[in-house]
Structure 1
């Protein structure tokens, strides 16, 4: 019962801590996740939910597959758009080849990130560069090159440090759609085959904080207005991997929630300490096992007292001889069928007593066996010789 009590106390403490962490007011999370499920300032849930109206569609399909798998296995409709918003885009060579084929057939790919794959940049003729930290500028503004989309004073995204910009080498197929106040490109449209790549270098501008801020709320929609209104796919694989929310395991969900994660770790540590400390303190005491007692001597003494009290000295003497010979057989391996001179010598050799003492004892045993009725005195004499023999052997 004591073990169960400790366990339930630990379990109650962990549950209480987990509930407290889960329901207490959360501090604002300023990390940039760019996830379409996040309501934090730098998630993209607002843009994802408003995007269908911009694209003139009932909904935008959420994609949780690598580019190669999606474009080869799902076979998206043509023409269509494929939108990526992330801090960094990671494509392997197979992904890049499939993206190029997809755009060449007349589709559009919108890529908003600070860092792009070099393989894609070499094919399309652009590079994404970053200035040294000493040149950061949070007051830097951005402006569209199309006068119809421009805003007086430009757009300032003060949570961005202003160090990222684009460089283009293919003036024939590339159009600069937006620049910063240093006249550096931040948004490009690059023709490839029958379609276009839209390279946007300011993903923070598309997050909840700036989409919902009155001063910058129209920037994201102006940037996406260059995409034709048609079926659109939104990539979440770059940020959340393959599994949708309904495919998440319980353990994966626990680790995705900070409060539940800490409660889980606390439970594991508590169980380990419980096993090491409580289990060691409450283990059962090892019982003391006494060695088996030799009751043969007690039995002999009891039988002797019975015969002595009844005055049956003859039976007492005979039993004494039987027990003594049985002792010689078990202890020294002697054959006690015939008690003669040869037996006396064997007894002397096995026990180490003098031959004369052994012969004297054997003669006493023979005499006692031949006597029809042993008296009390005969029994005492026989017992004395046996005890002397035992003491000689023990000495």
Structure 2
């Protein structure tokens, strides 16, 4: 019992040391780019979530992880759409649903660093990284300096230059179809377009190529939140659908285990529990060995049967019957070992047995004569039975 408590103390001490180490160790920043509205990490979207609820305070805001086709299939009237993603590549059916909603009077703000598929071809634009266009460096060679973004729309009195790290603002919008009624809303310090508005039917599509402006790191520094708020203000005062599918996917927990593994605290608790159970099983298996059953050897029942039969014949006193069985047993040995016929125990049989067995002629003749004598008598005396047994044993043992 003391050994069991010792192992428990060791295990408990190890768990306490691990927990203390994780609590006291300095936390490392999570630099993942998620744009997720609940993430407070530098490149999460918690600040944007606050801004959205402030600007559309009296409107219905739906945040989800559904595709455009799924979203617009469930709405009854044109609404605002917000998408912030590193790249945006909707399918054909999703593009049709988007353009249909906008044509009926909806508005869509799409902020992405890359757009692929049918939508950019339809709108006549493309979003490219101006650092490495066409496989070689363009415009600038140092991506570590700063850039500024500013609004170029004459209708906006804001002439502020908003500073950002250039390495995170390296995308620009290029126009590939001049026939569209496209208006430039914002540019960078090199005069490259970063935000445009495209009328489509009764609504508008607002495209922005710098999604990092909507992250916590830049919305909470200086006055940069004003640039994000002004960009968001291109959406009219209406109900808002904010889908994060194009950055995070479905992101739902379909099983309890998946939910546990997606939550850091629950995940560590789950792993520690599994480890504790494995250690417990290991220690218990070493302490409690399975009892090995004692297997009794198989009894020699044949020997017991022989003794029983022998006692029965001895008590019955039928010496003639015993003698006949001894003779039958010996004759069977002669037939199988020497291949002799035992139908007639005459002189020819005796001489043949002497030749094949190699036994002394006198012993063989005496044994055959005793057998003939016993077979001719109705009864056999005990001394005659003993003499027969001795002669048979002598003949058999000398043959081995």
Normalising by structure 1, we get a TM-score of 0.73
Instruction: State the Cα deviation string for residues 38-92 of structure 1 (Å, max 9, x = none).
Output: 2212111221233132124344102322212222x31x24331011011111211
Alpha-carbon distance in 2 for matches of 1:18, 1:330: 83
2:103 maps to: 104
Q: Is the 8 A contact 1:82 1:233 kept in 2?
A: yes
User: How many residue pairs were aligned?
Assistant: 374
Normalising by structure 2, we get a TM-score of 0.73
Q: Are positions 1:166 and 2:173 aligned together? A: yes
Which moves more between the two structures, 113-122 or 55-64?
55-64
Q: Are positions 1:145 and 2:152 aligned together? A: yes
Q: Are positions 1:201 and 2:204 aligned together? A: no
1:46 maps to: 47
Q: Are positions 1:136 and 2:143 aligned together? A: yes
Q: Is the 8 A contact 1:18 1:259 kept in 2?
A: no
2:387 maps to: 381
Superposed displacement of residue 385, structure 1: 2.4
Gaps of 5+ in 1: 334-338
Alpha-carbon distance in 2 for matches of 1:21, 1:332: 91
Q: Is the 8 A contact 1:55 1:228 kept in 2?
A: no
Superposed displacement of residue 342, structure 1: 7.6
Q: 1:229 to 1:293 in 2, by over 3 A?
A: same
Gaps of 5+ in 2: 337-341
Q: 1:363 to 1:143 in 2, by over 3 A?
A: farther
Superposed displacement of residue 164, structure 1: 1.3
Alpha-carbon distance in 2 for matches of 1:175, 1:314: 132
Superposed displacement of residue 112, structure 1: 0.6
1:70 maps to: 71
- Say which of 258, 269, 280 aligns to 1:252: 258
Superposed displacement of residue 179, structure 1: 0.8
What is the CA RMSD across the aligned residues, in angstroms?
A: 4.9
Q: How does 1:1-395 map to 2 (within 5 A)?
A: 26-71=27-72, 73-74=73-74, 76-130=75-129, 131-132=131-132, 134-146=141-153, 148=156, 150=158, 152=160, 154-158=161-165, 160-171=167-178, 172-242=180-250, 244=252, 248-257=254-263, 292=298, 294-297=300-303, 299-300=305-306, 314-315=317-318, 318-319=321-322, 322=325, 325=328, 340-341=343-344, 364-365=370-371, 367-368=373-374, 370=377, 372-375=379-382, 377-391=383-397, 395=400
Superposed displacement of residue 283, structure 1: 8.8
Q: Is the 8 A contact 1:56 1:229 kept in 2?
A: no
Superposed displacement of residue 197, structure 1: 0.8
Superposed displacement of residue 119, structure 1: 2.0
Alpha-carbon distance in 2 for matches of 1:359, 1:13: 94
Q: Is the 8 A contact 2:345 2:372 kept in 1?
A: no
Q: 1:248 to 1:179 in 2, by over 3 A?
A: same
Superposed displacement of residue 123, structure 1: 1.2
